[in-house]
Structure 1
Amino acid sequence: MADLFAPDPDPETIAADAPLADRLRPQKLDEVVGQDHLTGPEGAIGRMVAAGRLSSMILWGPPGTGKTTIARLLAEAVGLRFAAISAVFSGVADLKKVFAEAREHVRTGQRTLLFVDEIHRFNRAQQDGFLPYVEDGTVTLVGATTENPSFELNSALLSRSQVLILNRLDAAALGLLLDRAEALNGHSLPLTPDARDALVATADGDGRFLLNQAETLFSIDLPEPLDPAALSALLHRRMAVYDKDREGHYNLISALHKAMRGSDPQASLYYLARMLTAGEEPLYVLRRIVRFASEDIGLADPQALIQCLAAKDAYDFLGSPEGELAIAQACLYCATAPKSNAAYKAQKAAWKSARDTGSLMPPKNILNAPTKLMKQIGYGKDYGYDHDNDEGFSGDNYWPEEMKPETYYAPVNRGFEARIAERLAHWDQLRSKKKEG
C-alpha cells in the first residue's frame, strides 16, 4: 500500500508552520493511501492519467479521505490548470467568473480542471449551469461530495460525469499517516501501543482529523506516554458522520430494520446505538420499530406491537437517557420474535382488491334490516348467527355476490400464526362440509 502523504514534503512549497496535514500532503498520485482502487494502475484515475486524458468526475466519499488532494494532483498529472471553488461560499457570480477565466485560458491552449468542493450544496439550477461548459470542454469538472450523488446531483450532470467512490481510511492507512507524522517531527507520539491504536480508532476513517489530533499531541510536553484512558481524557473523539436528513440517516435505519428482520439482536442493538449516540430523535427510531412490529412480525407474535407501544409510553414518561432503555428493549423483543409478513402482504392485497372492485354491495344476508322495506327486499334473510352453532361458526358467505372469495391472509407456520393457521384450516373444513350438506 502506498503512503497517503508525501514522505519528504518540499519545504520550498509548504510553510514550516503550516498545519501538519498540509505539510504531509501527497506530492504525487501514487503517494495517496487508502484509495488504490482508484489511483492504482488498474483504477479509473490511474488509467485516465496513463492515457493523459481526464473525463469529468464526481468524487464521493467521507471527510478526510483525500478528495481535494486527488483533484489537485490530477491537474498536475495531466497538465491542466487548476481552479477551485467551494459551493458553501460561492454563488452565481463566482461561477460566471470561473467560467469566463477558463474560456480565456482555452484561447491560449490551456484547459482547466475545475474542482468544486461540496458540489451537492449547489441547487439544481446552479448545477445545470455547469452543463454547457462541461460539454464544450471549457472545463473538466471534478466535484467532491460527502453525500450520495444519486440523491443530491442533477441527472443531467451525473450523465456527463463518472462517479468515483473513495473509501474511508482503514487502520493500516491511518497508521501510515502517523508513521509519516512521526518521521517528519523526528520523534514518536507520546503514546503507548494501545493508546496509539485507540487514537486511530477515534479518527473514524478521517485522515485529516487524525493528523490534527497527532499535532496536538506533538505540541504537548508529557513526562511519560499516555495510556488509552489518559488519551481519552486529553482528546475528544471525532463525532460519527451522521446527517439526520441525508444518506447516513437512511442507511442506518435500513440496517436496523434488516438486522431485526434477520433476527440478529446484537447487530440490531449496534445500529440502534449508532443512531441514538449520533443524536437521532429517539421517537423517530421508535416509530420505525413500531412499524416493524406490524410489518415483519404481525400475528406471529401479537405482543410485539404491544411491547413497542409500551416502549413509546415509557420513553414519553422518562425521556432521555433513561427512556432509551425501553427503546432498546423493544428493539431486542422485535429482533428475537418469530417473523411473519403475512399481515403486511394481506393488507396490500386487500387494499388493491378494494380499489379494483369499486362499490360492490355486501351480500344481503349480512346486512341489517331496521325497516320493513329492507326486510321485504331480503336484507338479513337467512343470516346464520354464529353463536347459535356448536362450533361458534356458521360458515356463511360474506363476499359480494359479484366477487369470488379471495385469500389475502396466509399465516406462516411460525409463532402464534401457526395456531391461527390451524384455526383457519378447521373453519375451511366446516365450510366444505356445509357446502356438501
Structure 2
Amino acid sequence: MCARRDAGEPIDRRMMLAVLGNTDLGGVTVGAYLGRLVTEATTVINAPGYARAIAQAARMRKVLETAQEAVAAMTDGSLRDPAAHAAYMIEALDEVASAGLAEHVRRITLGKSTAGVLARIAETREGKKRRGVPYGVPKLDAVTLGMRPGQFIVLAGRPAMGKTLTALHIAIAAARSGGAVGMFSLEMEADELSERVLSALAYDPRAREPISYRAIAEARSLSDEALWRLEEAQKEAARIPLWIEPQAGVTLSQIASRARQMRLTAERQGQPLAALIIDHIGLVRPSKRYSGNRVQEMTEISSGLKGLAKELSVPVLGLSQLSREVERREDKRPILSDLRDSGSIEQDADVVLGLYRESYYLERKTDLTDDEINRLARAQNILEIEILKQRGGPTLRIECFADLAANVLAEAYL
C-alpha cells in the first residue's frame, strides 16, 4: 500500500489482490482478509454522515421529550394553561424544525447561480417574470425593483405617520399580483383592518360621499350608495389572498411556524406565498434568553425575521416605531439612527423606508407664520416615503397622495 501511495497509484481491494495474490494465510485467504478490512474500516471520509446521524438522533430525543412532557402535564393534572403550554411546545419544536431546514440548505455553484441570473434576465425581458413583489407605488417599485425574495424590509415612522395605511396598501398590491400575503397584526383586530381595507377599496375620488373607515365602524350615517360601494368592495376583497393573523403577543417561533403553514397552504392552492407583513416588530414577544435586555431582544427578533425571509425565500416587511429623538429636532424627517431599541434593525434590514407627514406637525403648531400656512396647504394629504437604506440601490424621497381617513395611498399627482 505504501509503495503504491508513494508512486501516486490508486489503492483498492482488486489492485491489492492482484499484487499480493490470493494465497492462504491460515484459515483465511488474502482476498477474504482484504474484504474484511474494507467492510469493517472506519475512516474520516464518513465523519459528516456520522455527525448528521448524531444530530438527527438528538432532534428525535428533543421531539420525544417535548411530547412526553405534554402527555405528563395533561395526565397528572398539573396543566393549568393549555395555551401557554402549547406556546412553549411550538417554541421547542420550532428549534427542531429550523435545524432540520438549515441542514438542507441547498449549496449551489457559481456557474449554476450565474446561469440562473441570465435565465431570469431573459424571462424578464420577454415579460414572463418580474423580479420583485410590487409595493404598489410605481416610483418605489422602479427604484427598488420591488420586494425581492429573502429581503427583510423595515417600514418605520412615528405614530400617526401612516404605517398601517402603507402596510395595507403594500399588502393589497402584493396579493393582487404576486400571490398570497400573510399579515401578522399584533396591534389591531381583524375587524379594524377589514374596515380600513373596505374603505380603501371603496374609494372613488369622483364620488360625492367619501367613505372613511370611521364611518364604516359607526355604520349609522352610511347612505344606500355608500352601502352599495362597500358591497362591491367586499366582493373585490374576497378575491384578494390576504390572510390576517390578529393574535397579539406572538413569539418569533410562532410567527415562523404559522408562516410555514401559510406557505404550504398557498402551494396547495397553486399560488406562491408572496410576502409576510409584521405589524409591528416592537410587539413581537421575545424569548426568555435575553430577558430584560431590550437591545438584545430586538436584535434576536430582527435577525430572526431576516433568517425567516431567507428560509422561506419571501420578502418580510416589518413595521417599526421610531424613537422620541425625532420630536426634539427641527427637521422631524426620520433618519436611520431613529430606529427604536436596537441598531441591529438597521443592520439586518435590506431596505429601510421612513414615513413622514409634514401636515401632522403643522396642524398641531400654534401661531403659524404665513410661510407655514402655505406649507400646510401644500402638504395636505401628502405622505413622504424616504428610502433610508437600500443595499445595492439609491436612497431618495417619494411623495405620495394619502387620505388617512379613507386609508388610501397613491403616488402623488405632480
TM superposition score normalised by structure 1: 0.20
Give the structure with the larger strand fraction: 2
TM superposition score normalised by structure 2: 0.21
The structure showing larger relative contact order (alpha-carbon pairs under 8 Å, at least 6 residues apart) is 2
